[in-house]
Amino acid sequence: MRPRDEVWQGCLGYWQNYFMQQNLLLLGYAAWNGYLNHGRGIVVCEIADTILASIDWQIERVGFTQQFIPQSQIASYLQVSELEQALVTRLLQAISPLTIQLVRSSS
């Protein structure tokens, strides 16, 4: 059950959105640096603290570690994390290179 949204808390949704907003530069740097060194991949964060619904994102900080996982290692990393197979498949599809087929009109 999600906590009730409270305007005074600045909590109008899931905590993940606020976590990413608060740590955008760190997450963006990890993603860009990982991409430059390894190509496609994902940034994985492990949250060290319990995130309470009453957290004030403007003042309080959440402890976490981050790691860039290259595309070739994602499947094994996710399997060790014991995620559902459907979620693993969706994540792998999200980062796989897009194949764009151009269709020429016969006009």
pLDDT bracket for residue 101 (50, 70, 90): low
Query: Beta-carbon neighbour count of residue 97 at 10 Å?
Result: 8
Residue 97 placed within a domain: no
Residue 91 placed within a domain: no
Q: Is residue 51 within 8 Å of 19, Cβ to Cβ?
A: yes
Residue 1 placed within a domain: no
Domain assignment of residue 62, given as a range? 7-68
Residue 86 placed within a domain: no
| pTM, full prediction | 0.70
Residue 1: predicted pLDDT: 42
The 10s digit of each residue's pLDDT in 42-73 is 999 998 888 887 888 888 888 999 999 998 89
Q: Looking at the 3D structure of the chain, how many domains does it have?
A: 1
Q: Is residue 19 within 8 Å of 62, Cβ to Cβ?
A: yes
- Mean pLDDT is lowest, of 52-61, 88-97, 98-107, for 98-107
The 10s digit of each residue's pLDDT in 32-45 is 999 999 998 899 99
